[in-house]
Structure 1
Amino acid sequence: MSVQVRPLGDKDFFSWLGLFEGYSEFYENELTDEKALQVWSWIIDKNHPLTGAVAVNDDGAFVGLAHYRPVPQTLSATTGLYLDDLFVAADARGAGVGRAIMDFVKRYAKDHNLSRIRLITAADNATAQILYDQVGTRTDWVTYEIAV
């Protein structure tokens, strides 16, 4: 299967929604209509930092997505790219879709003069970690969340 990765566009909502539902299910997170519409509104709002890309197969089906945004890197006084979400549809896994998405995101970062790409994944997501270990460097940083 070959895929082409491209930025998300205004008319991609329903195809994107199917993937975003799959992503939410993968992480056992309930996706409400309100959440989906909020995230989509961020993606298509040119004044919001979140943007996204989609992987499309030869048949025109959406098989993967990524959401990313620029983020200040204070210690280097540069701007990096934070990859919030990367998801590949179950029936497209193992076909190079994740790597194609990562290549697209890396080109995006280079084209926008961003210093590095940062991302996190679940500790038990071994499949994703195989790809991330191939394209990046695992850090020693420990991630925390604080509810407010």
Structure 2
Amino acid sequence: MSPLEIRQVSAADHTAWLPLWQAYLTFYNTQLPDAVSQSTWQRLVDADEPTHSALAWQGGKAVGMVNFIYHRSNWSIENSCYLQDLLVDSAHRGTGVGRKLIEFVYATAKADGCGKVHWLTHETNATAIQLYERIAERPGLIQFRKAL
């Protein structure tokens, strides 16, 4: 098996990123207008935006995606990093790709001066939760939200 490479996306990676993005939305039973996906992509490749993305490549094929956002925090001087979207192609789950993508975010956020990385997952995502509990702490917070 060829080695896994993780690297930040460039504008040339759109055709590799888009199917993973669409699979992520499908996983969470979500549909977004094409304009939202296009805007998200434009933000991910704009150096002036706080949003970032990386792809995991194996054998010339993108097999995983992570999107993350830097933001201010009232609880620290350093920015925080919100790992918003993570997906590993179903054929590559359980092979360490997800862990490597998260570790890439840890290293990138630390190098960029962030004080922490945080994320959410659905309570039914048991497989992912098993990984997350090994590589992060579970603070016990409950999310509340209201669409506006």
Letter in 2 for 1:4: E
2:82 corresponding residue in structure 1: 82
What does residue 129 of structure 2 align with?
129
Task: Provide the TM-score with structure 2 as the length reference.
Answer: 0.94
**Could you give the per-residue CA deviations for residues 87-107 of structure 1, whole angstroms, max 9, x where no partner exists?**
101011011100110111111
Query: 1:62: which partner in 2?
Result: 62
Task: Give the 3-state SS of the residue equivalent to 1:81 in structure 2.
Answer: strand
Contact persistence 1:79–1:114 (CA under 8 A): yes
Give the count of matched residue pairs. Answer: 147
Instruction: Please tell me whether residue 30 in structure 1 is matched to residue 62 in structure 2.
Output: no
Shift of 1:10: 0.7
Paired residue type of 2:104? F
Partner of 2:82, secondary structure, is strand
Letter matched to residue 5 of structure 1: I
Give the Cα separation in 2 of the matches to 1:30 and 1:67: 17
User: How much has 1:71 moved relative to structure 2?
Assistant: 1.4
CA, structure 1 residues 42+88, in 2 after alignment: closer, same or farther (shift >3 Å)? same
Q: Which residue of 1 aligns with 2:119?
A: 119
Superposition misfits of 4+ residues, deviation over 3 angstroms: none
TM-aligned CA deviation for residue 118 of structure 1: 0.6
Q: Considering only aligned residues, what root-mean-square deviation do their CA atoms show, in Å?
A: 1.1
> Partner of 2:11 in structure 1?
10
Hey, what does 2:72 align to over in structure 1?
Answer: 72
Deviation at residue 77 of structure 1 after TM alignment: 2.8
Q: Given that residues 81 and 116 in structure 1 are in contact (C-alpha distance below 8 angstroms), is that contact kept between their aligned partners in structure 2?
A: yes
Does 26-35 or 46-55 show the bigger shift?
26-35
| Amino-acid identity (%) | 30
- Residue type of the alignment partner of 1:55: A
> Given that residues 21 and 31 in structure 1 are in contact (C-alpha distance below 8 angstroms), is that contact kept between their aligned partners in structure 2?
no
Q: Which residue of 2 aligns with 1:92?
A: 92
Question: Which segments of 5 or more consecutive residues in structure 2 lack a partner in the other structure?
Answer: none
Is residue 78–residue 113 contact of structure 2 (8 Å, CA) maintained in 1? no
Question: Which ranges of structure 1 fall in alignment gaps of 5 or more residues?
Answer: none
Instruction: Give the SS at the match of 2:72.
Output: strand
- In the TM superposition, what is the alpha-carbon distance from 1:32 to its structure 2 partner? 3.4
Q: Report the TM-score when normalising by structure 1.
A: 0.94
